């Protein structure tokens, strides 16, 4: 029996055989060729095949993990069309008389090295994408499909690291847990594991000899036990059964109120990223939608979504929620969420750059199109609008002016709309410190704890090297949350949390005591949070 320590990114118990996900051994040799035109033609054909593969993977991923998880495949399709990348491959073939596979391999290495050496974290991350598309092209050229994990039974997936593209293409029914040597607890793969509701560990130092062996993944204590002794295995089987029973008991909480024993009530809503996520909201008995990330309507397209397209999406969600509150966040693009057709410039620090409400206020035509769609859809349910990345009263007042312009246009056109509740996200220290002033301007606050934590602590939450000091429980963050709640209540408006911290059940009791009116969480966390609330005095 061997115990391997790691860091948990999602709790739970998994028991099964290990399957090490190995990269294809793409041995690429340099071969002299005379027919360079033929090699260039092979590149063209391989690129078309790779694009078709990526389209198929995108469709599969949308069904299984939604648009946000599938978006990586759109990015890879665009990168395959990058002219500089293709010109480099073609030039090497023509000037050096070499085979297509070798030209792709060298170009991929050169471009990946170039990206990796950039100062900007977003651009650094593109190094892995260049490697990914290059490896895909080489697989096609070599006649290999190489599409990751193949297993007849559900397994514990172990890998050096998992790119989002590798994770989303897996058959979820064949995955018991994720275990990686590298990675960050705030990576897309970690978030996906939480969405899939399966145990996941990072920073586990393993060797290939464990492949195929029986193991236990303990997501509570952050460890993997390989070849467990019989008594240990039996104990964990019992523990796993207890977890299954706990989940069954949680289902009995459906239909119950989110109220403490002393009668204090709190709203528990759900976060979603696409229209089809509403099914999970209803299945998990959320009281409403506390965050609908509307940017995915933009990210899934190669041009701006029309007013009608947006209207239909918002209308469908409002109708399906049947009067329950639906809080839709306006466009929050920029930083790590990029769409080429926006024409955004490269930035040294995109997380603090031209993004979210800053784009909307600078390009009001884009903003007005979304607002028109939102107000038109408002008569079909209880829609609220939430504006992200606010830092000043001036911004809020400008938003209100634009909203009034939109209302006037709709009225003149004879288009009906409802009286919509409007609020802002509190996700910057600046917004926290002037929350007393902002509270006079809006109907509610929703605290985005993910960005608020990284901006407050000056820590990039995607940087694995900083995981040991990234602390969402930091006293500064908690004090800021309390300050926001107090200032909201002084002006008679409500305050909630829509960041990942809202689902942290170790803080649920403290949040209720702070006076938070709402917690919006991943749908699968609605009932666990309800359980904590109902057990409180």
Q: Would you say residue 35 has pLDDT above 80? A: yes
In this prediction, what percent of the chain has a pLDDT beyond 70? 85
Q: Are 307 and 369 in contact (CB under 8 A)?
A: yes
The model's pLDDT over 114-144, given as tens digits with 9 standing for 90+, comes to 877 776 655 666 777 788 889 889 989 988 6
Q: Are 155 and 174 in contact (CB under 8 A)?
A: yes
Specify the DSSP element, H or E, that contains 290. Answer: strand 289-293
Q: Of 58-62, 517-521, 522-526, give the lowest mean pLDDT range.
A: 58-62
Q: Would you say residue 69 has pLDDT above 60? A: no
Q: What pLDDT, on the 0 to 100 scale, is given for residue 66?
A: 62
Three-state helix/strand/coil letters over 69-93: HHHHHHHHHHHHCCHHHHHHHHHHH
Q: Would you say residue 68 has pLDDT above 60? A: no
| Cα(235)–Cα(239) distance, integer angstroms | 6
Question: In terms of pTM, does the model score above 0.95?
Answer: no
Mean per-residue pLDDT, 309-315: 91
| Cα(509)–Cα(242) distance, integer angstroms | 24
DSSP string, 1-53: -EEEE-EEEE--EEEEEEEE-----------B-S-HHHHHHHHHHHHHHHHHH
Domains and CATH numbers, the chain: 2-21+148-232 (3.50.30.10), 36-142 (1.10.274.10), 260-535 (3.20.20.60)
Query: Is 498 assigned a catalytic role?
Result: yes
Q: Would you say residue 488 has pLDDT above 90? A: yes
Cα–Cα distances (Å) from 33 to 29, 55, 87, 90, 142, in that order, read: 12, 32, 18, 13, 16
Query: Is 240 assigned a catalytic role?
Result: no
The model's pLDDT over 252-270, given as tens digits with 9 standing for 90+, comes to 888 899 999 999 999 999 9
- Alpha carbons within 13 A on the beta-carbon side of 159: 20
Which residue of the set 188, 240, 346, 474 is catalytic?
A: 188
Q: Of 23-27, 315-319, 354-358, 471-475, give the lowest mean pLDDT range.
A: 23-27
The model's pLDDT over 211-237, given as tens digits with 9 standing for 90+, comes to 999 999 998 889 999 999 999 999 999
pLDDT band, very low/low/confident/very high, at 334 (cuts 50, 70, 90): low
Q: Of 19-23, 209-213, 449-453, give the lowest mean pLDDT range.
A: 19-23
What would the two tokens of residue 313 be?
């999406």
Q: Of 249-253, 274-278, 288-292, 521-525, give the lowest mean pLDDT range.
A: 249-253
Mean per-residue pLDDT, 330-340: 64
| Cα(310)–Cα(109) distance, integer angstroms | 40
């Amino acid at each position: 029996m061997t115990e391997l320590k790691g860091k948990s990114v999602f709790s739970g118990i998994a028991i099964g055989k290990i399957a090490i996900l190995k990269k294809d051994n793409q041995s690429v040799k340099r071969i002299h060729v005379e027919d360079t035109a033929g090699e260039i033609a092979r590149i063209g054909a391989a690129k078309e095949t790779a694009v078709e593969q990526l389209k198929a993977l995108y469709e599969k991923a949308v069904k299984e993990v939604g648009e946000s998880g599938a978006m990586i495949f759109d990015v890879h399709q665009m990168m395959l069309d990058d002219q500089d990348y293709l010109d480099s491959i073609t030039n090497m073939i023509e000037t050096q008389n070499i085979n297509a596979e070798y030209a792709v391999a060298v170009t991929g290495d050169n471009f990946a090295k170039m990206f990796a050496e950039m100062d900007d974290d977003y651009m650094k991350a593109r190094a892995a994408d260049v490697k990914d598309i290059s490896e895909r092209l080489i697989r096609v050229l070599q006649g290999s499909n190489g599409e990751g994990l193949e297993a007849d039974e559900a397994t514990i997936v172990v890998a050096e690291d998992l790119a989002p593209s590798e994770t989303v293409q897996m058959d979820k029914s064949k995955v018991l847990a994720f275990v990686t040597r590298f990675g960050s607890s705030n990576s897309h793969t970690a978030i996906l594991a939480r969405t899939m509701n399966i145990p996941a560990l990072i920073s586990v130092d393993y060797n290939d000899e464990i492949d195929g062996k029986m193991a236990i993944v303990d997501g509570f204590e952050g460890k993997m036990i390989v070849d467990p002794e019989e008594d240990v295995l039996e104990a964990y089987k019992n523990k796993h059964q207890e977890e299954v029973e706990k989940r069954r008991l949680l289902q009995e909480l459906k239909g119950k109120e989110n109220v403490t024993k002393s009668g204090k009530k709190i709203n528990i809503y759900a976060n979603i990223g696409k229209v089809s996520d509403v099914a999970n909201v209803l299945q998990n008995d959320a009281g409403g939608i506390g965050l609908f990330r509307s940017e995915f309507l933009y990210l899934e397209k190669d041009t701006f979504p029309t007013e009608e397209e947006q209207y239909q999406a918002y209308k469908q969600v409002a109708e399906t929620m049947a009067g329950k509150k639906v809080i839709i966040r306006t466009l929050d693009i920029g930083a790590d969420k990029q769409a080429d057709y926006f024409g955004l410039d490269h930035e040294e620090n995109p997380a603090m750059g031209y993004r979210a409400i800053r784009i909307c206020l600078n390009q009001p035509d884009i903003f007005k199109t979304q607002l028109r769609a939102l107000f038109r859809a408002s008569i079909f349910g209880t829609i609220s609008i939430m504006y992200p990345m606010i830092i000043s009263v001036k911004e809020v007042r400008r938003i209100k002016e634009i909203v009034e312009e939109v209302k006037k246009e709709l009225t003149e056109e004879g288009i009906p709309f409802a009286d919509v509740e409007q609020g802002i996200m509190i996700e910057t220290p600046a917004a926290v410190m002037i929350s007393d002033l902002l509270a006079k301007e809006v109907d509610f606050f929703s605290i985005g704890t993910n960005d608020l934590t990284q901006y407050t602590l000056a820590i990039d939450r995607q940087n694995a090297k900083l995981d040991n000091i990234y602390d969402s429980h930091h006293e500064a963050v908690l004090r800021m949350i309390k300050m926001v709640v107090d200032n909201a209540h002084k002006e008679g408006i409500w305050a909630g949390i829509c960041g990942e911290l809202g689902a942290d059940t170790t803080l649920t009791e403290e949040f209720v005591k702070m006076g938070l009116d709402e917690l919006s969480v991943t749908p699968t966390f609605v009932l666990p949070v309800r359980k904590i609330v109902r057990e409180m005095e």
